[in-house]
Amino acid sequence: MCARVFSKVLKGQYDGRGQAVQETPSRGPTRASVTPLQGPGLSSALAARTRTARTMRVAGLISGGKDSCYNMMQCIAAGHHIVALANLRPDENKVESDELDSYMYQTVGHHAIDLYAEAMALPLYRRTIRGRSLETGRMYSRCEGDEVEDLYELLKLVKEKEEIEGVSVGAILSDYQRVRVENVCKRLNLKLLAYLWQRNQEDLLREMIASNIEAIIIKVAALGLDPDKHLGKTLGEMEPYLLELSTKYGVHVCGEGGEYETFTLDCPLFKKKIIVDCSEVVIHSADAFAPVAYLRLSELHLEAKVSSVPGNDETTSYIHNS
């Protein structure tokens, strides 16, 4: 991997307010009790234990990170079919588009999302984020010009084209995101599937690693995380240190406080794995104690692999942009 370091300091501090989603409103999430998915596929016994009453056609709302990936694995274990992927991306015509100042969406790593969809051999629906964070209170109601409405339009399109009934969301902790994604799903009559919601983060991180999710750190924004040392490291390499930071400084080991973000290079859902040929470190905020920096994945390619999850190859990869 080549490493060209950009000492470019961008305006604005990183905001860790973007967070998670639950499966049902108000009363708390209803999620299946899903054990770690291990090896290259899902066992029939596990699928039987976690299968829900009704199989649904589901779209995976992805950022490229570990959480959205692992939640899709749980959806499949519960008997659902991932039939398409959905992603919101920054406007590439704007300066400094890699790291969007969004309360809702991870945008670092967006250049590699097309390959992510190709690796899963699924159709990908993408929409440029045109709105901003306007309605930032505890509750959300439809607000023209808010970035949440971009999510509504994206999922509306996916529902029309793919006849989906549910949406997979890798939400763990944030009520801010929960309220907004619930609002969108309710308006579209879609079921929100968030199997990770409010689960113990140490358990989740351990499960993700045991389930053969190969995800690398592509953004750091916390005390104890060093761009030069930690960007590009895998979850497996980082787990002991993240647990140490959690004990010392209260860092969320799954990054739910905005401490770090990841990009998935391989997992049991992928038919091909993503290889990073070249990357660039970009300094977003040169803070002396907690610098914010991200990895721009500038050159990548796909590599064939032996096996993947069965029963999730109903469609071939193609891309819809809006």
pLDDT per position as a tens digit, 124-171: 999 998 877 766 677 777 778 778 899 999 999 999 999 999 999 998
| CA diameter of the chain | 53
Domain 2-10+213-301, CATH: 3.90.1490.10
Determine the pLDDT at residue 40.
34
Closest listed residue to residue 196, CA positions, set 168, 224, 177 = 168
Amino acid letter for position 285: S
3-state secondary structure of 6: strand
Per-residue pLDDT at 95 exceeds 70? no
What integer is the mean pLDDT of 244-262? Answer: 94
Give the tens place of pLDDT for each residue, 274-283.
Answer: 999 999 999 9
How does pLDDT run across 29-60, given as a tens digit for each residue? Answer: 334 333 334 333 343 333 444 444 589 999 99
Q: What pLDDT shows up at residue 102?
A: 62
Given a contact cutoff of 8 angstroms between Cβ atoms, the answer to whether 59 and 83 are in contact is: yes
Three-state DSSP state, 113: helix
Quote the distance between the C-alpha of residue 18 and its chain's center: 12
**Domain 44-201 top-level CATH class:** alpha beta
pLDDT of residue 53: 55
Residue type present at position 153: E
Contact assessment for residue 24 and residue 198, using Cβ atoms and an 8 Å cutoff: no
Q: Looking at residue 230, what is its pLDDT?
A: 97
Per-domain residue ranges of the chain: 2-10+213-301, 44-201
As to burial, measured by CB atoms within 10 angstroms (0-12 exposed, 13-18 middle, 19+ buried), residue 250 is exposed
pLDDT digits (tens, 9 = 90+) for 181-234: 898 999 999 999 999 999 999 999 999 999 999 999 999 999 999 999 999 999
pTM metric for this prediction: 0.80
Q: What percent of the chain has pLDDT over 90?
A: 57
Which pLDDT band holds residue 109 (cuts at 50, 70, 90)?
Answer: confident
Average pLDDT, the chain: 80
